[in-house]
């Protein structure tokens, strides 16, 4: 894996944690 953030699954955690935020904005 060449991307340490992907290696740690960081992007997935970040996207899930941000999700509520984007849903709020769509409402």
Partner 1 sequence: NRMHLVCPMSMSPYVDPRKSGHSIWLEFSMSFTPAVREVVEFAKRIPGFRDLSQHDQVSLLKAGTFEVLVVRFASLFDAKERTVTFLSGKKYSVEALRTMGAGDLLNSMFDFSQKLMALNLTEEEMSLFTAVVLVSADRSGIENVNSVEALQETLIRALRSLVLKNHPNEAATFTKLLLKLPDLRSLNNMHSEQLLAFKVHP
Least Å from the CB of residue 27 to partner 1: 13
Least Cβ distance, residue 19 to partner 1 (angstroms): 10
Spatial separation of the C-alpha atoms in residues 15 and 11, rounded to whole Å = 6
Computed on alpha carbons and rounded to an integer, the radius of gyration of the chain in Å comes to: 12
Residue 26 interacts with partner 1 (CB under 8 A)? no
Could you give the string, one character per residue 1-20, with x where binding to partner 1 holds by CB under 8 A and - elsewhere? xx-xx-xxxxx-xxx-xx--
Q: Note whether 27 binds partner 1 by CB under 8 A.
A: no
- The three-state DSSP-derived secondary structure of the chain is CCCHHHHCCHHHHHHHHHHHHHHHHHC
Number of residues that bind partner 1 (CB under 8 A): 17
């Amino acid at each position: 894996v060449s991307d340490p953030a992907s290696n740690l699954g960081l992007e997935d955690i970040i996207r899930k944690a941000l999700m509520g935020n984007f849903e709020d904005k769509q409402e």
